[in-house]
Each structure stands twice: as C-alpha cells, then as structure tokens.
C-alpha cells in the first residue's frame, strides 16, 4: 500500500463530497458521519466530476445524467451507468486523510 496525503479532515464537507487530485488522479472524498470514503473522481459513464454531484443516503448522484453509485462499494445502482466506480482505501491520521490509489 502507498498512502498519499489528500486533504485535511476538517476541510471535508460533512455528509458531502469533496474533489481532490492525487498523483494526477481525480478522486472524490466523502465524509459520511465519522467515516471517510474515496472513489475515482470521474463518472464511469461520461466526463463528469462526482465532486459536483449530490450525496444522499450513502449514494453519490452524478451531476450530468443522475447516475447513482453506492459510495462504500462503488456499485453502479441505476441507468445510464453500466460500470461500477473504483473505490480506494482511506485512513485518517492526525487529522489528515490518506488515500491508497492501488
């Protein structure tokens, strides 16, 4: 595992999504309650940044065609999505969020 420092925990929107770039990879970070999750930052359907989407009930809604992904598993939940989104391991240490891109 290679952990990359991504952002300060306090900068994450509570129950929302925040976009970052790690090693040139767009990543969407989610703070759901006290847990932090990460997915690839771009929708699997077309070029839309999930950080511009809407979080509700553990799901991220893509801003372009309203496709839904499960934030925890990355599973595509409805049309027009046909492909799950990649998820990444996350840890928080000393107030910093780290992401493993592997």
Which residues of the shown chain bind ligand FES in the complex (CB under 6 A)? 43, 45-46, 48, 62, 64-65, 67, 80-81
18 vs 1, 51, 78, CA distance in Å?
23, 5, 22
Minimal distance in Å, beta carbon 80 to ligand FES? 5
Asked if residues 28 and 39 have their Cβ atoms less than 8 Å apart, the reply is yes
28 or 81, CB closer to ligand FES?
Answer: 81
Q: How far apart are CA 27 and CA 69, in angstroms?
A: 14
2 or 82, CB closer to ligand FES?
Answer: 82
Minimal distance in Å, beta carbon 66 to ligand FES? 6
1 or 47, CB closer to ligand FES?
Answer: 47
Longest CA–CA separation in the chain, Å = 40
Asked if residues 95 and 9 have their Cβ atoms less than 8 Å apart, the reply is yes
Minimal distance in Å, beta carbon 67 to ligand FES? 3
């Amino acid at each position: 595992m290679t952990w990359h420092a991504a952002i300060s925990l306090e900068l994450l929107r509570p129950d929302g999504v925040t976009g970052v770039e790690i090693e040139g990879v767009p990543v969407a970070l989610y703070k759901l309650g006290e847990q932090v999750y990460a997915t690839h930052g771009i929708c699997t359907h077309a070029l839309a940044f999930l950080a511009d989407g809407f979080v509700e009930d553990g799901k991220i809604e893509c801003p372009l065609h309203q496709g839904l992904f499960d934030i925890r598993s990355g599973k595509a939940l409805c049309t027009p999505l046909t492909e799950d989104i990649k998820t990444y391991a996350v840890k928080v240490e000393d107030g910093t969020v780290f992401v493993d891109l592997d």
